[in-house]
RNA sequence: UCCCUGAUAGCUCAGUCGGUAGAGCAAGUGACUGUUAAUCACUGGGUCGUUGGUUCGAGUCCAACUCAGGGAGCCA
């Protein structure tokens, strides 16, 4: 007997007049004393449930079927037929229902057929995948990841796996997690009494990566179009809906490209992703539209249709200074824009994503390319309404003398970066890239308000339980 | 890390002026001629986050701590 997914049966892909098998978990059970029960079955293959009609003529009707509760695992055999009731295309007329796994103590089973708060579900991270929301998030997350790989692949990019362990202790992107095999109770010490990392596993102090960018630039200088897609770690004590200690990041890097090319790539990539989600996951998006964020679908359609606004930092400062809006923090040229400023630009002034470009060099990283004005660098941030900075990127400084001057200015030692500087000594070319926070992207697409709810097992300060 | 708010049944919450604990959903039992997070009736279910303090008496007032949420900073 052939097994069919819930998705296939609802799409009418199961053969008519043939007994098939479905397998999954009970969402709800409704009884009718007409002598039958309705079981809503999910197997995660799509948003919808398959309705299984089980009549009291089944041998285990009273003993088992009437005791099924949310979460029970079952297999059912039967005919897939057009539904006699409203609300679903097809349903199964069951000839057998086998219970594979009961729910122990249904009263305390956390996942009940009712609304749960996201905070509660976060405490039940091992069970929350069984909910409508998390199932929909998981499928959309997968769709986005696949779309990103497809977008780059179709455009001739090569996926480069940059290292997760790194000895660069000054990548400048944030606090880092140390990785060590030294005995923390009794570690070897230098004459100065500090930990002697020369006796550690790698012979020097080692961390988890905060960015694959510097590494991926080396492959960019050989393969022209490359990107990373992998986990990233930041030991910042950030407690917000947009930060995780462990998150996934996509970092394309393109040779012979400038800032305008970079912005165009970011825009094309986001549009490609949004189109893919709307096309491939209409069921899940309809759910997000109804229960999570009214208007998400129109939001994405608008992003696909309209050109992203490009705006120079200097212009943004002028707008903010003359808009008449009272900000908690005053705006002047040279400051790092506050969340309230970015939000005003994206949400009020433009009402759509904005690509802010050419920031003052003093508030940006050392590797960003110095513009001819000597004051700004070719950096860009993509600000999305509602979530803020979703992408940060730049054209890189390809001129060794300028890069060295910048490193001196910032006070970075050259020796650890000799390999990064070598890229500028041997066949250097203009190049540019950006970083996309994967969870921020998933949150934006689904309308979910917290990145902790779009990653299966969020890691945040004080939370590494599951 | 800073500011604000919160923690009461399995879940979501109410709980007045300090006077001895409530609802809805879920669960159990029963009713109901195909239901759509069904409906109706009944039943069981509580260390009021932790510790200490004030008081004859604390879910309620005070302090500290823990955790969570919103905002900020840092950033993706």
Q: Which nucleotide is nearest to A435 (CA to C1')?
A: B76
**Mean pLDDT value of segment A82-90:** 82
Instruction: Give the pTM.
Output: 0.93
| pLDDT in the model for residue A346 | 87
**Mean pLDDT value of segment A361-372:** 94
| pLDDT in the model for residue A171 | 52
Which candidate, A466, A460, A458, places its Cα nearest to that of A126? A466
Q: A312-337, pLDDT tens digit by residue?
A: 999 999 999 998 888 888 899 999 99
> How far, CA to CA in Å, does A115 sit from each of A109, A135, A337?
14, 14, 38
State yes or no: pLDDT of A62 exceeds 90. no
Q: Across A96-105, A119-128, A242-251, which has the greatest mean pLDDT?
A: A242-251
State yes or no: pLDDT of A66 exceeds 80. yes
Q: Could you check: is the Cβ of residue A56 within 7 Å of any atom of nucleic acid strand B?
A: no
Q: Could you check: is the Cβ of residue A450 within 7 Å of any atom of nucleic acid strand B?
A: yes
**Mean pLDDT value of segment A133-143:** 94
Q: Could you check: is the Cβ of residue A104 within 7 Å of any atom of nucleic acid strand B?
A: no
Contacts of A85 (CB under 8 A, 6+ apart): A51, A91
State yes or no: pLDDT of A172 exceeds 70. no
| pLDDT in the model for residue A32 | 78
**Mean pLDDT score of chain A, rounded to an integer?**
91
Q: Please give the helix or strand (H or E) that residue A380 lies within, else none.
A: strand A376-384
Q: Could you check: is the Cβ of residue A63 within 7 Å of any atom of nucleic acid strand B?
A: no
Å from the A110 CA to the B51 C1':
29
Strands A158-159 and A165-166, sheet pairing: unpaired
| pLDDT in the model for residue A464 | 87
**Considering only CA atoms, which residue is closest to the C1' of nucleotide B11?**
A116
Lowest mean pLDDT among A51-65, A371-385, A438-452: A51-65
Q: A256-301, pLDDT tens digit by residue?
A: 999 999 999 999 999 999 999 999 999 999 999 988 888 899 989 9
Q: Could you check: is the Cβ of residue A95 within 7 Å of any atom of nucleic acid strand B?
A: no
**Considering only CA atoms, which residue is closest to the C1' of nucleotide B27?**
A107
**Mean pLDDT value of segment A5-10:** 94
Torsions phi, psi for A214 (to 5 deg): -60, -40
State yes or no: pLDDT of A113 exceeds 80. no
| pLDDT in the model for residue A173 | 59
| pLDDT in the model for residue A52 | 92
Within 7 A of a protein CB, which nucleotides of strand B?
Answer: 1-2, 10-13, 24-29, 31-38, 44, 66-76
Lowest mean pLDDT among A100-114, A150-164, A360-374: A100-114
| pLDDT in the model for residue A191 | 93
How much is the ipTM here?
A: 0.82
Å from the A22 CA to the B40 C1':
33
Residues 371-390 on chain A lying near strand B, CB distance under 7 A: 388-390
Å from the A112 CA to the B8 C1':
20
Three-state secondary structure string covering A271-331: HHHHHHHHHHCHHHHHHHHHHHCCCHHHHHHHHHHCCCEEEEHHHHHHHHHHCCCCCCCCC
Q: A242-258, pLDDT tens digit by residue?
A: 999 999 999 999 999 99
| pLDDT in the model for residue A170 | 53
Contact indicator for A110, A118 with CB cutoff of 8 Å: no
Q: A189-224, pLDDT tens digit by residue?
A: 999 998 999 999 999 999 999 999 999 999 999 999
| pLDDT in the model for residue A104 | 82
């Amino acid at each position: 007997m052939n097994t069919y997914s819930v998705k296939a049966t609802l799409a009418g892909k199961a053969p008519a007049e043939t007994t098939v098998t479905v397998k999954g978990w009970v969402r709800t059970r409704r009884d009718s004393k007409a002598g039958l029960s309705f079981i809503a079955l999910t197997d995660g293959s799509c948003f919808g449930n398959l309705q299984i009609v089980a009549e009291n003529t089944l041998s285990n009707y009273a003993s088992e079927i009437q005791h099924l509760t949310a979460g029970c695992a079952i297999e059912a055999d039967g005919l897939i037929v057009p539904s006699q009731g409203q609300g679903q295309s097809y349903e199964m007329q069951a000839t057998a229902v086998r219970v594979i796994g009961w729910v122990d103590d249904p009263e305390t089973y956390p996942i009940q057929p009712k609304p749960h708060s996201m905070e509660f579900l976060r405490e039940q991270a091992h069970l929350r995948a069984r909910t409508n929301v998390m199932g929909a998030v998981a499928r959309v997350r997968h769709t986005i990841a696949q779309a990103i790989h497809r977008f780059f692949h179709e455009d001739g990019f090569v996926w480069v796996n940059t290292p997760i362990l790194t000895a660069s202790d000054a990548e400048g992107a944030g606090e880092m997690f140390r990785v060590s095999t030294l005995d923390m109770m009794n570690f070897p010490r230098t004459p100065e009494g500090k930990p002697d990392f020369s006796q550690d596993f790698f012979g020097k102090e080692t961390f988890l990566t905060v960015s694959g960018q510097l590494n991926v630039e080396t492959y960019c200088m050989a393969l022209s179009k490359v990107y990373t897609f992998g986990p990233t770690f930041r030991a910042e004590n950030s407690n917000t809906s947009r930060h995780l200690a462990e998150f996934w990041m996509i970092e394309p890097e393109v040779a012979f490209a400038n800032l305008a090319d970079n912005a165009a790539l970011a825009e094309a990539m986001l549009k490609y992703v949004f189109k893919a989600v709307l096309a491939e996951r209409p069921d899940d998006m309809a759910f997000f539209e109804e229960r999570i964020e009214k208007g998400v679908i129109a939001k994405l359609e608008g992003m696909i249709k309209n050109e992203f606004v490009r705006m120079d930092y200097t212009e943004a400062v002028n707008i903010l200074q003359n808009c008449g809006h009272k900000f908690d923090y005053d705006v002047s040229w040279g400051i790092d824009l506050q969340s309230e400023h970015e939000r005003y630009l994206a949400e009020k002034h433009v009402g759509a994503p904005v690509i802010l470009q050419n920031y003052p060099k003093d508030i940006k990283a050392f590797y960003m390319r110095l513009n001819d004005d000597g004051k700004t660098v070719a950096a860009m941030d993509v600000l999305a309404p509602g979530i803020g900075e979703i992408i940060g990127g730049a054209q890189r400084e390809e001129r060794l003398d300028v890069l060295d001057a910048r490193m001196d200015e910032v006070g970075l030692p050259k020796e650890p970066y000799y390999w990064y500087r070598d890229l500028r000594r041997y066949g250097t070319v203009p190049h540019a890239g950006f970083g996309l926070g994967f969870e921020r992207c998933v949150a934006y697409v689904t309308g979910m308000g917290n990145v902790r709810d779009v990653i299966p097992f969020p890691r945040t300060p004080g939370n590494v339980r599951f």
